[in-house]
A and B are shown apart, each in its own frame.
Chain A
Amino acid sequence: AQKVTQAQTEISVVEKEDVTLDCVYETRDTTYYLFWYKQPPSGELVFLIRRNSFDEQNEISGRYSWNFQKSTSSFNFTITASQVVDSAVYFCALSVVWNYGGSQGNLIFGKGTKLSVKP
């Protein structure tokens, strides 16, 4: 069975601080995909990043960076120089490939980390 654990329920930082959101996943599949989504108060899940299990390269996108380590089954997300607009709930998610001609399996979400960035 697959599982995603986000141990941090809530994090509060002051603007311009760096913050790391932790994500640990469990799966026996060798091919899988990891995601991060942002959920502002409006409720919509905003896609941030997708990585596949064969690509362990870290990725940086502006103030966002992701560290994928298969050895520890972790996919952590760092926001550098946080801003008030980063305040939201962040979800880490996992999906595996179904046996439907390579179709995308459903997303398994962690419980989310609520990030509050104070001015």
Chain B
Amino acid sequence: DAGVTQSPTHLIKTRGQQVTLRCSPKSGHDTVSWYQQALGQGPQFIFQYYEEEERQRGNFPDRFSGHQFPNYSSELNVNALLLGDSALYLCASSLGVLPGQGARDYGYTFGSGTRLTVV
């Protein structure tokens, strides 16, 4: 049973460039969330995609955008990169609707992340 797959694992970009990160969810999951984790901090929620639409968004500027495909995979795009965008970007997959209180497969499964460095 494949977990969450993210690509690439590492990336170096120049300030002002654009970047696309990719995520394939765990088998059976239909929802993808993206998080940004700066060094020494906890992950911060960027947005969540369900049924190919952005369902919820955290406090991130419009430079951060995303997409979800019919196979539930997702992309995170960041335009006009800033030095402060350097971080570990984590993708998490989940079920879009809670299956019930007794369900055990509940919560989020995270990928290993993409380490983005902006120089």
Interface segment, one of B15-23, B64-72, B77-85, B88-96: B88-96
Q: Which residue of A lies closest to B58 (CB)?
A: A106
Task: Report Cα–Cα, A112/B95, bound state, in Å.
Answer: 25
Query: Does residue A103 face the partner (Cβ distance < 8 Å to B)?
Result: yes
- Report whether A103 and B97 are in contact in the complex, using a CB–CB cutoff of 8 Å: yes
Give the Cβ gap from B39 to chain A, nearest Cβ, in Å. Answer: 11
Number of A-B contacts (CB under 8 A): 74
Q: Which residue of A lies closest to B90 (CB)?
A: A45
- Report whether B112 and A44 are in contact in the complex, using a CB–CB cutoff of 8 Å: yes
- Report whether B108 and A47 are in contact in the complex, using a CB–CB cutoff of 8 Å: yes
Which positions 81-117 of chain A face chain B at CB distance < 8 Å? 91, 93, 97-98, 100-112
- Report whether A91 and B42 are in contact in the complex, using a CB–CB cutoff of 8 Å: yes
Query: Does residue A42 face the partner (Cβ distance < 8 Å to B)?
Result: yes
A52 cross-chain contacts in B, Cβ below 8 A: 101
- Which chain A residues have a beta carbon within 8 Å of chain B's beta carbons? 4, 33, 35, 37, 42-47, 50, 52, 91, 93, 97-98, 100-112
Some 16 contacts from A to B, beta carbons below 8 A apart, are: A46-B110, A52-B101, A93-B42, A97-B98, A98-B55, A98-B56, A101-B97, A102-B98, A103-B55, A104-B107, A107-B43, A108-B45, A109-B42, A109-B43, A110-B42, A111-B40
- Which chain B residues have a beta carbon within 8 Å of chain A's beta carbons? 31, 33, 35, 40-45, 48, 50, 55-56, 58, 88, 90, 92, 94-98, 101, 106-113, 115
Give the Cβ gap from A110 to chain B, nearest Cβ, in Å. Answer: 6
Known: A45-B43, A91-B42. A102 touches B97 (CB 8 A): yes
> Which interface residue of A104, A106, A110 has the most chain B CB atoms within 10 A?
A106
A98 cross-chain contacts in B, Cβ below 8 A: 55-56
Task: Report Cα–Cα, A93/B40, bound state, in Å.
Answer: 16
A93 cross-chain contacts in B, Cβ below 8 A: 42
